[in-house]
Amino acid sequence: MVFIDTVALAGMEDRSIRGSLSRRTLVGSVAVGLAAGTAGCLRPLLEEGGQTAGNETTEDGANGAGTETEAWPAFGADRGGSGAADVTPPGDDVSDVWTADLNGGRGNPVVADGTVYCAARSTVRAFEADSGEETWSSEVGLTGGLSPALTVAGGVAFATPGDGFLYAFDAGDGERFWSESLTGGSGSSFASPRLLDDVLVAADDDRVSGHDASSGEQRWSKELPNTVLGTVVDDGTAYLGILAAGAEPSVYAFDAESGERRWTYDGVRNGSNEPTVVDGTVYGGGAGDTGTEGYVYAVDAESGAERWGTELESPIVTSPAVTDGSLYVTDEDGGFYELGTERGDVRWRESVWDESDRDGNPPKISAPAVADGRIHLGTLDGRALAADASDGSVTWSFSAATEIRASPAVADGRAYIVAAETLYALGTA
């Protein structure tokens, strides 16, 4: 979708956010001042487009003919972070169809409208999904570590790359609609922005806030006891996983519109991760009381009451994927599991750690991405792989020869992964 003619801020993109703190703060202030000009532009686009994982139809050329593509438009595929979508994964004979250099950065990829998006270091980038050709890039503030995934909805790409700002871009050509300061110009974001109706929920460091999606204007802001590791949204509520220690809450639920706190959950005693919300239940994991065993939980999305909790062999290091009555999660010792969502019963555990060639160092595993009965994963020892969701048996493996920390995005017969500073499109020849 191209809508450059409706952009009120054409030609006003600021490419110098990497300057001093005062300059960064000024950029955020300017964004607020321009909110009225952008609101009329984005609102109808967001209302028309929405955010959908799975199959989507986009306009093809001037004749307006519909072209069906597949989408994985957010971390965990959708606004609730389910980690699963009705999309086509690669077959068994997988190779790298194309690669793209991210110029020193790393980020979680997403796919929408035939385009792959990734924030990495100081740049947000878009690549044509078929060819890997870069279609646009936009500079942001300098970021470190693994940048969170964008959220793409209604032809708008929202980003919290980790520089202390929240951004909205034209998903088609990269024109910047607005930017809004989250933490006064210094950031360490682990959480992707999440869109719920006209509210955009964003987090950076120990603060979460709700914004008007059309203008970026802040509606509410809350400070948390520790770092926010991820947010998901559903049914008027934002759910946060934070870095927990001891008996303090590890999951918070806020009214997405007002920021009013609804409940907290403290079942994970040590550590936490981004939760997942599916069909009225919030799922997540972390470490148990001693910090050496894993813990996976399910709580009622409305009340926060625990429905079940299951101890596992090792701490859980990523958010789970939930689909068709099954929960898939990975642990820090190279294992991955299937649990039943009704009772939390462990159905199987498999490992990607081969002790014969790992020198005693188990490969950490990314968050799972589930499509068409296959679990897609990346490991720190540089492998992307797919496993059968029914028993965990590996169906294919690809060596990128360098660490993979980001979760894969899957669509149209491709799995997109980021290994160190390179974006790979993996597909079947």
Per-residue pLDDT at 22 = 27
Q: Which residues contact 372 (CB under 8 A, 6 or more apart)?
A: 86, 87, 88, 89
Per-residue pLDDT at 376 = 97
Could you give the count of Cα atoms lying within 13 Å of 263 in the half-sphere of its Cβ? Answer: 13
Q: Coil, strand or helix: which one is 296?
A: strand
Lay out the sheet containing 228-234: strands in order across.
Answer: 228-234, 237-242, 251-255, 261-265
- In the predicted model, residues of the chain with pLDDT beneath 50 are 1-40, 44, 48-49, 60-65
Per-residue pLDDT at 144 = 72
Per-residue pLDDT at 191 = 92
Per-residue pLDDT at 11 = 28
Per-residue pLDDT at 33 = 34
Q: Which residues contact 119 (CB under 8 A, 6 or more apart)?
A: 105, 107, 125, 140, 143, 147, 148, 149, 150, 159, 161, 162
Tokens of 384: 């992307």
Domains in the chain: boundaries:
4-47+69-428
Distance, CA of 7 to CA of 61 (rounded, Å): 20
Per-residue pLDDT at 9 = 24
Just give the CATH number of 4-47+69-428. Answer: 2.130.10.10
Distance, CA of 429 to CA of 427 (rounded, Å): 6
Per-residue pLDDT at 401 = 76
The whole-model pTM stands at: 0.86
Per-residue pLDDT at 19 = 28
Per-residue pLDDT at 420 = 85
328: β partners: 321, 338
Per-residue pLDDT at 357 = 56
Per-residue pLDDT at 384 = 95
